[in-house]
Every structure is written in C-alpha cells, then in structure tokens.
A and B are shown apart, each in its own frame.
Chain A
Amino acid sequence: AQKVTQAQTEISVVEKEDVTLDCVYETRDTTYYLFWYKQPPSGELVFLIRRNSFDEQNEISGRYSWNFQKSTSSFNFTITASQVVDSAVYFCALSEANNNDMRFGAGTRLTVKP
C-alpha cells in the first residue's frame, strides 16, 4: 500500500524566511498522483497542487514552488518569503491510479512569526 512520510512535525520561521516542507512517498504503482493540501486553523483542507507521476517538471506558483524527484521519491514544497498567513498544517498526499484511498502524511505544522 502507498505511504507518505512527512518527517518534519513542526517548523517555525520568522516572516520573510524561505521554508521547505519535505515529503517522501512509497508506492509500487507506476501511475500515481501527488498532492499538497493546506489546513488553516479553520480546519478546512485547501488544495494547493496535484502532480502525476509522469510529470516531473517542477512548478512555481507565486511564492510557492514544488520539487518532484522520482529518483528520491520526494515531492517537497517551498514557500519563499514566508508570511504570517502561511501558518497552517500542510499535508502531502498520494493516490495510486484506480485507487480511491488518497493517503495523507501526518502533516507539518508551519508557524510563521512576525
């Protein structure tokens, strides 16, 4: 079965610092999908990005960027010039093709201090 590991339980940075959230995954499938979700204090999970296993191109969206490396089974997330509003729990998730069980990591709690 697929597995997602987010080794960093909590990270604290000062505003404007860059921060990288790590995600390592395990799967036996060749076709799979990787996701990042943000969970602010309100509790509602907010979709950030989806990547399929055939697309290793890194992506940048504003201050957010993602580094997908199949060689190391990692899908890391970097926030550049962090802001207080970035404070939340961030989840990495993996779903194998034809499998409805999207497997989440345990999450990384990011605190950005002013």
Chain B
Amino acid sequence: GAGVSQTPSNKVTEKGKYVELRCDPISGHTALYWYRQSLGQGPEFLIYFQGTGAADDSGLPNDRFFAVRPEGSVSTLKIQRTERGDSAVYLCASSLIGSWDTGELFFGEGSRLTVL
C-alpha cells in the first residue's frame, strides 16, 4: 500500500504473555520510528531505525521491549512478559531520510495493545 501499515490493529493479551507488533513502512523510507501513545497523551518516542540498525533506542522503557528491522524495511516491536501498564496504542512512522530538516514523518494507524 501507499502508506505505513501496522498489524495487528488490535491485540488483546494476558499479563505475562509475549507480543509482537509489525510495521511495514512506506517503500524506500530508510528511517523508521516507534512511538507509544497512552490515552489522552501525545505520542512518546521509543526507538528509531536508520536502515537496519537501531540508531537510537533511548526511549524503550525497559529491557522487556525490543525492536528489530533485519532487512531495513519491515520492523517488529517485541514486548516480553507484558504488564497492564503496557496497554497503549503503538504507532509506527517512517520518513525518507530521517533528518528533521527534511520534514515530516508518515504515521501508521497504530496497533492498540490491551493487556488484561
């Protein structure tokens, strides 16, 4: 498709389970970002990829969170031993180069994670 695609759109899981969220960026976009948005809040930065490498993972809240982008395109956000506090909408965004000077991020519609 033309935009950023995220799957699943909704995920309900039980506390302690493992979850994977997938992001398929716009073709040709080298920069990929993961954000987390809690209800009534703005998006919170988690991690940034430039190509295959995680250029900045300073936003990951703890070591239960991990993300990969093995071929420089699709990315997977992995959450181990989920907790109720992980419930949020996880947003993925991509951009052509990754420099703020070039402008906008293109966001997907997000994956809503609910941990019971």
Residues of A within 8 A of B (CB): 4, 33, 35, 37, 42-47, 50, 52, 91, 93, 95, 97, 100-107
Contacts and interface: CB of A to CB of B under 8 A. Distances in A.
A107 B105 CA distance: 17
List the 5 closest pairs (A to B, CB-CB), nearest first: A104-B42, A47-B104, A45-B107, A100-B48, A100-B56
Count class of interface residues, chain B: 20 to 34
Interface of B: 3, 33, 40-45, 48, 55-56, 58-59, 89, 91, 93, 98, 100-101, 103-110
A97 B98 CA distance: 11
Of A47, A103, A106, most B-chain CB atoms within 10 Å: A47
B44 A104 contact: yes
Interface of A is mostly: strand
Contacts of A43: 89, 109-110
Nearest to B108: A44
B41 A100 contact: no
